């Protein structure tokens, strides 16, 4: 989970109120990666999601209801892997370590595991995604998810409709920016995956590495 600046040893004056893992640039990088990975896994693994467990649950129920048990079974491993990764992240409580763990998972899939039969690649990706998702759940003072847009869109509407002031407008713009980055990631993911296949994972790896660098750079500067 994201750790507030005051609880991570950084004063409000040093961190600008928020810890680096709660900053908008970091949230945008993570969300763009989330959009990319959903499209990548959908195209690469026969309509299975790594991020959107809502989609996996819907397809699991739909195929099970129609007796297509083989198709339904494809959606079970990523759900279980996501639950395992989220549990590990909540137990570890180390956002930057979890982010590094996701980078390692994606790198393994890109370099080696994409050659293996399913569900090994999708399990590795879903586990890594869950590590990051459960660790980074706040952008500035607002809760968000980097693997979906529905909740983020709802929060944007809430900010505008329920609390019409300058801070609410800033919150709405923040949520909408995160949603647009998810859309951008999905668009780039479609274009890159169709051209590069597993090699396209270099894009989300780069996005996540940039987010990790921003967090580490800020913390290192504050320590000096």
Residue 5, pLDDT above cutoff 60: no
Under 8 Å CB-to-CB from 143, ≥6 apart: which residues? Answer: 137, 155
Pairing relationship of beta strands 142-143 and 138-139 according to DSSP bridges: antiparallel
Calculated CA dihedral for residues 176, 182, 184, 188, nearest 10 degrees: 180
Average pLDDT, the chain: 88
Please tell me the distance from the alpha carbon of residue 166 to that of residue 108, in angstroms, as a whole number. 45
Q: Two tokens at 217?
A: 């750079």
Q: Measured between alpha carbons, how far is residue 153 from residues 80, 83, 98, 131, 175 in Å? A: 27, 24, 26, 23, 7
Domain segments of the chain as ranges: 20-219
CA distance linking residue 213 with residue 220, whole number of Å: 10
108 vs 172: CA distance, rounded Å: 37
pLDDT at res. 224: 55
49-99 residue pLDDT tens: 988 899 999 999 999 999 999 999 999 999 999 999 999 999 999 999 999
DSSP H or E stretch at residue 138: strand 138-139
Global pTM value? 0.87
With tokens 């998972």, the residue in question is 105
Closest Cα to residue 207, out of 174, 184, 223, 191? 184
Q: Do 130 and 142 meet the contact criterion of CB atoms below 8 Å apart? A: no
Sign of CA dihedral 83, 86, 90, 93: positive
Write out pLDDT tens, residues 51-65.
Answer: 889 999 999 999 999
Specify the CATH architecture of the domain 20-219: Up-down Bundle (1.20)
């Amino acid at each position: 989970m994201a750790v507030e600046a005051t609880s991570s040893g950084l004063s409000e004056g040093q961190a600008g109120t928020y810890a680096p893992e709660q900053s908008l640039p970091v949230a945008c990088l993570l969300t763009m990666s989330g959009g990319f990975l959903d499209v990548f896994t959908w195209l690469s693994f026969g309509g299975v999601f790594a991020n959107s467990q809502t989609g996996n649950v819907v397809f699991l129920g739909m195929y099970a209801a129609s007796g297509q048990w083989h198709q339904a079974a494809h959606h079970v491993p990523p759900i279980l892997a996501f639950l395992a990764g989220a549990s590990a992240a909540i137990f570890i409580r180390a956002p930057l370590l979890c982010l590094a763990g996701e980078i390692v998972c994606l790198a393994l899939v890109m370099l080696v595991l994409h050659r293996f039969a399913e569900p090994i690649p999708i399990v590795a990706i879903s586990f890594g995604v869950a590590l990051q998702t459960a660790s980074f759940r706040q952008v500035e003072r607002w809760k968000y998810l980097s693997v979906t847009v529905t909740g983020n869109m709802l929060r944007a509407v809430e900010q505008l409709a329920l609390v019409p002031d300058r801070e609410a407008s800033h919150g709405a713009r923040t949520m909408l920016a995160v949603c647009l980055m998810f859309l951008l990631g999905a668009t780039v993911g479609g274009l890159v995956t169709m051209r590069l296949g597993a090699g396209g994972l270099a894009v989300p790896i780069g996005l996540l590495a940039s987010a990790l660098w921003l967090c580490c750079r800020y913390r290192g500067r504050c320590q000096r």
